[in-house]
Amino acid sequence: MFCVRNKSDRIRRRVGLQNPRLKVTVAEIVQETPVVKSFKLVGARGRLPRFSGGAHITTYFTVNAETMERHYSLVGNPQRDDYYTIAIRRSETSRGGSAHWHDQIRTGDEIEISYPKNHLPVSFEAKHHVFIAAGIGITPFMAMMSELAASGKSFELHDAAASEAYCPFYEEIRKRYGERAKFYFSGKQQRLPVAVMWKQPIGTHVYFCGPEEMISQFRQAAIHYGYPASNIHYELFSPPNVGPSYPFQAVLAKSNVTLQVPESKSLLEVMLEQGIAAAYSCKIGGCGSCEIEVEDGEVDHRDFFLSEQEKKTRKVMIPCISRAKSPLIINL
């Protein structure tokens, strides 16, 4: 559910199989909209690690004997360390994650989460911040706006939803940020235009979070308006729809291991199943954590992390989502 374009923030830590976890208890559940619930999580051992605006956690739970990982932005105040808050929209096409949280999780339940990770940090270089959200895409911006407001920084929010009733945290945002927040409700024939990015002050950074189509539209518009790539930041909910998947073969050159990757799994999933301690974080092609070097073979790039130029010139692959058009030889 998240993607970032800050190449300077590439993660090189070896996580994967060594990812530490925290135990938390569900202290409160609030029905924010007809399809969104928020969950207040308190640490089983007291204080929780601090986080910065834009951070997320990974939650771990079991559905039908299958362990699932789902990533959710932290929407609370980054200054608080006594609890975390996440908000989850129930998806009509849920593969078990949002349905489990909405239907099975109860107050008092204990779950495991990761330490906070941030692939969508607030830019300290920005003179002004423009946040553009659609639906549940408001979640990372809640903590980011709180952080900026506390430090007196300049920002504005443009938030699209079906209606006031279906707009998560609508009343809270309206009361806290007043005219800095503008809302667009499709039920009232109000459309969020890309032109909100036009004629912004020099040094403005733009941030998008929402469906893939919305992010693509606003990203292309920002480039057209002349925003540098380093000033454009975005986050996805789920892997982009990049067409059919086909099986392929990958050879790990250094260890002389051959992996068969079926159409139903990613190369990263197969590597982890084989006990290979591969680095990873988002698993949807956005953060670059799992980037690997390719010695030979044609990569079918499907990620949102590498630039078009990098996809043409660098011999690398994002194995959580990208695939192969021919057998690959990987420098592992």
pLDDT digits (tens, 9 = 90+) for 52-62: 999 999 999 88
Q: Is the distance from CB of 317 to CB of 298 less than 8 angstroms?
A: no
pLDDT at 94: 63
Identity of the residue numbered 66: E
250/326 Cα distance (integer angstroms):
9
How much of the chain exceeds pLDDT 90, in percent? 73
Identity of the residue numbered 174: R
In this predicted structure, the answer to whether residue 102 has a pLDDT above a threshold of 70 is: yes
In this predicted structure, the answer to whether residue 19 has a pLDDT above a threshold of 80 is: no
The whole-number average pLDDT for the span 14-20 is 51
pTM of structure = 0.82
CB hemisphere CA count around 149 (13 angstroms) = 17
pLDDT at 141: 98
235/229 Cα distance (integer angstroms):
15
Task: List, for residues 146-202, the tens digit of each pLDDT value.
Answer: 999 999 999 999 999 999 999 999 999 999 999 999 999 999 999 999 999 999 999
What the block records as the tokens of 110 is 């204990």
Among 67-81, 247-261, 280-294, which stretch is predicted with the lowest mean pLDDT?
Answer: 280-294
In this predicted structure, the answer to whether residue 132 has a pLDDT above a threshold of 80 is: yes
207/130 Cα distance (integer angstroms):
6
271/161 Cα distance (integer angstroms):
39
Confidence class of residue 13 from pLDDT cuts 50, 70 and 90? very low
CA distances from 307 to 214, 231, 286, 312 (A): 19, 14, 11, 9
- Which helix (H) or strand (E) covers residue 21, if one does? strand 21-33
- Which helix (H) or strand (E) covers residue 273, if one does? helix 267-273
Q: Is the dihedral of CA 242, 248, 251, 252 positive or negative?
A: positive
In this predicted structure, the answer to whether residue 242 has a pLDDT above a threshold of 80 is: no
In this predicted structure, the answer to whether residue 5 has a pLDDT above a threshold of 80 is: no
Among 36-50, 94-108, 197-211, 288-302, which stretch is predicted with the lowest mean pLDDT?
Answer: 94-108
Identity of the residue numbered 76: G
How many angstroms separate the most distant Cα atoms in the chain?
60
How much of the chain exceeds pLDDT 70, in percent? 92
- Please report, to the nearest 10 degrees, the dihedral formed by the alpha carbons of residues 89, 92, 97, 103 taken in order: 80
Task: List, for residues 257-294, the tens digit of each pLDDT value.
Answer: 999 999 999 999 999 999 998 888 788 888 888 999 99
206/232 Cα distance (integer angstroms):
5
The whole-number average pLDDT for the span 73-77 is 94
pLDDT at 224: 96
| Sheet of 292-296, strand order | 257-261, 248-252, 328-330, 292-296, 316-317
In this predicted structure, the answer to whether residue 3 has a pLDDT above a threshold of 60 is: no
User: Would you call 27 helix, strand, or coil by DSSP?
Assistant: strand
Structure letter (DSSP) for residue 74: B
Domains along the chain with CATH numbers = 21-118 (2.40.30.10), 128-235 (3.40.50.80), 248-330 (3.10.20.30)
Confidence class of residue 36 from pLDDT cuts 50, 70 and 90? very high
Average pLDDT, the chain: 90
